[in-house]
Structure 1
Amino acid sequence: MTQPIEVLDKLVREMVREQRSRRRFKYLMWIGTLAVISTTLAVEHFTSDGADAKEITARIDVSGPIAEGEAASAESLKKSIGQAFADTRTKAVVLKINSPGGSPVQAGYVYDEIKRQRGLHTNIKVFAVITDLGASGAYYIASAADEIYADKASLVGSIGVTAASFGYVGVMEKLGVERRAYTAGEHKAFLDPFQPRNADETAFWGEVLRTTHNQFIEAVKAGRGDRLKSADHPELLSGLIWSGQQAQQLGLIDKLGDVDYVAREVVGASKVVDFSTKDNPIDRFAKRIGTSVAQELSMSLGFSGQSLR
């Protein structure tokens, strides 16, 4: 009986030793993680925020759909715009745009905020730089800038409004399915795709879209002024889209160039600082390594939501 007990005792001791070793390794991993994050924060602070620059070009990215809850939401962009104008080093603000557009409401909010900030800070100019795409609501925002730049192959314009859906009436008839919609109000269900189109309701909805389109047109004309060749080219306001080279000829943009060119040659402040709303450093680190440990670390340190970079 003595030998089995000794073997069991050794086994238990080994298990305890292994658990302690794992625990120490886990602590070291946490310490190493914190050290990496601290180093990342320090590097970002001293290299990304232009702390050593007396004058900067403040860059704000307008990327992806312009919609509530997206990176290019009005709430996010207005916050970034306010921060950029408030920085005493800012010589100019550049909107770096790569977006197909989106909500006219969200785009309108951003347009109004740019105009408001330009009125409060008359010494700070705003430039829009379209990269791959600046269409619809994205061009709506761009037209609030003092000048618009793009690449010769960028896609620019699409000054129009759309609302699309499907009609399933024929399919339902073939399947023998009856749609039953109970509403209070004669036209309450006029957008219901399972009911036949009504000529009066279609005309009404068309008028709503035309009203929104006219608001878009007026905003663009107010921003671009006499530079817009719409009198000679009414198709400019029809929803068509143009290359950057064509857009320059039509007055949709002013010149060809990218963000670095604008900062260096136009603004005269080559240090570009990103004021876009980003995930905080902890969240970025968590996404990078893709582990639950990093996610737990983010929560335990109290980081949530987004922060300005």
Structure 2
Amino acid sequence: MSLGLRKTLGMVLPIPALRNPPPVVSLVRLNGVIGHVGPLRNGLTLESLREPLDRAFAPKRLDAVALAINSPGGSPVQSALIAERIRELADEKKVRVLAYIEDVGASGGYWLASAADEILVDSSSVVGSIGVVSAGFGFPALLERLGVERRVETAGERKAMLDPFQPRDQAEVERLRGLLTELHENFKEQVRHRRKGRLKASEEELFSGEFWTGRKAVELGLADGLAHLHSDLRQRFGKKLVLRRTQRPRRWFSWRTAATGMPNDWADALLSAAEERALWARYGL
């Protein structure tokens, strides 16, 4: 029966294609170190993820948003900003968020996962590391051996705090530890809030900075179950599931300019790459 005839007869008939629409899930991949990691690498930041996250939550008919997470952590600020944005969109759109940790969801990577309503892991995933670390090097003995004198003038007595070319000052170390403790408390509060009623171990154990396999993380209540993204989504939503993938734009211009830039660009890139490699290596990857 044609649409014109239906109107003529005053009939309202359902359109078969819209009667049982397939489930729709948006997929956002959160891969890599969190934060600004240098000219050759595009780390996970709120700036780089704002548009993909907005597009992921945009469909009017949306059953869930899936986060595929593979991150060793990084900036606590960017971790908090990204997680907060995910929750803002989820609450605004009233959409359930599912996090699937792949190789690693540790430190800031776990912070991102905690923004989800459920956290699913592989039995061999690396999960946890709920802590904060500050690492660096000291060179005062090297300067002395080379006969190099370090000259620093400041306006503000703490401006040169923890200078790697000066001997360690215990008062400055204690001040840094206080800062790290405050950042750690923010992380703990995020986990307490998002995993309320599901944590199954003492805070002393969970918040020690230790990390575990995915199977152990489920036992501790840091994750909700063992599952892989595609098979789990099919089981939840059926074989007719429509999976909408959203991606971050690639920074091809940064690659081009870094390749033809000044030596300082390469030095920054190499240092950034070394720091990133160290983060992954901490979890055996």
The answer to whether 1:266 aligns with 2:236 is: yes
Q: Residue type matched to 1:265 in 2?
A: Q
For residue 222 of structure 2, what is the aligned residue in structure 1? Answer: 252
Per-residue CA deviations over 1:95-146 (Å, capped at 9, x if unaligned) read: 0001111111111111111111122122x10010000010110100110100
Structure 2 equivalent of residue 72 of structure 1: 44
How far the C-alpha of 1:147 sits from its partner, in A, is 0.2
Q: Residue in 1 aligned with 2:58?
A: 86
Secondary structure of the equivalent of 1:263? helix
Partner amino acid, structure 2, of 1:83: R
Q: In structure 2, what is the equivalent of residue 275 of structure 1?
A: 246
Structure 2 SS opposite 1:80 = helix
1:63–1:99: 8 Å Cα contact kept in structure 2?
yes
Report the CA distance between 1:157 and its aligned residue.
Answer: 0.7
Identity of aligned residues (%): 41
Residue among 167, 172, 178 paired with 1:196: 167
**Contact between 2:34 and 2:45, CA under 8 Å: does it hold in 1?**
yes
Q: Which amino acid aligns with 1:246?
A: K
Q: Give secondary structure in 1 for the equivalent of 2:148.
A: coil
SS for the counterpart of 2:57 is helix
One-letter code aligned to 2:54: G
Distance 2:237 2:88 in 1: 21
Alpha-carbon separation, structure 2, partners of 1:83 and 1:107? 20
Q: Which runs of 5+ in 1 are unaligned?
A: 1-52, 288-309
Q: Which string of whole-angstrom CA distances, capped at 9 and with x for unpartnered residues, describes residues 170-199 of structure 1?
A: 111222211110111111101210011111
CA distance in 2, matches of 1:206, 1:267: 47
**After the TM superposition, which residues 97-176 of structure 1 pair with which residues of structure 2 at under 5 Å, given as runs?**
97-122=69-94, 124-176=95-147
CA, structure 1 residues 267+225, in 2 after alignment: closer, same or farther (shift >3 Å)?
farther
Letter in structure 1 aligned against 2:33: P
> Could you state the TM-score of these two structures normalised by the residue count of structure 2?
0.75
The residue number in structure 2 matching 1:223 is: 194
Structure with more contact order per residue of length (Cα contacts < 8 Å, sep ≥ 6): 2
User: 1:66·1:107 contact (CA, 8 Å) conserved in 2?
Assistant: yes
- The 1-side partners of 2:62 and 2:78 are apart by 25
Deviation at 1:229, TM superposition (A): 2.2
Structure 2 CA distance, aligned partners of 1:235 and 1:57?
35
Displacement of 1:242 in angstroms is 0.4
The structure with the largest helix share of the pair is: 1
User: Take 1:80 and 1:74, find their aligned partners in 2: how far apart are those partners?
Assistant: 10
Asked if the contact 2:35–2:45 (Cα under 8 Å) also holds between the matched residues in 1, the reply is yes
Instruction: Kindly indicate whether residue 236 of structure 2 is the aligned counterpart of residue 239 of structure 1.
Output: no
1:68–1:74 CA contact under 8 A, matched in 2: no
CA contact (8 A) 1:260 1:270 kept: no
Superposition deviation, residue 55 in structure 1? 2.8
RMSD over aligned CA atoms reads 1.9
Relative to structure 1, the CA distance from residue 267 to residue 218 in structure 2 (aligned partners, 3 Å threshold; closer, same or farther) is farther
Cα distance in 2 for residues equivalent to 1:229 and 1:212: 23
Are residue 55 (structure 1) and residue 32 (structure 2) matched?
Answer: no
Describe the superposition over 1:246-297 as per-residue Cα deviations: whole angstroms up to 9, x where unpaired. Answer: 00000010011111133112345632221122449xx7xxx9xxxxxxxxxx
SS of the residue aligned with 1:213?
helix
Q: How big is the shift at 1:78?
A: 2.6
User: Which structure would you say has the larger Rg?
Assistant: 1
Tell me the distance in 1 between the aligned counterparts of 2:237 and 2:214: 21
Distance in structure 2 (CA, Å) of the matches to 1:158 and 1:137: 9
- Structure 2 distance, partners of 1:155, 1:129, is 12
How far apart, in 2, do the equivalents of 1:115 and 1:84 lie? Answer: 13
Could you tell me which amino acid in structure 1 is paired with residue 233 of structure 2? A
TM-score normalised according to structure 1 size: 0.70
Contact preservation (8 Å) 1:57, 1:93: yes
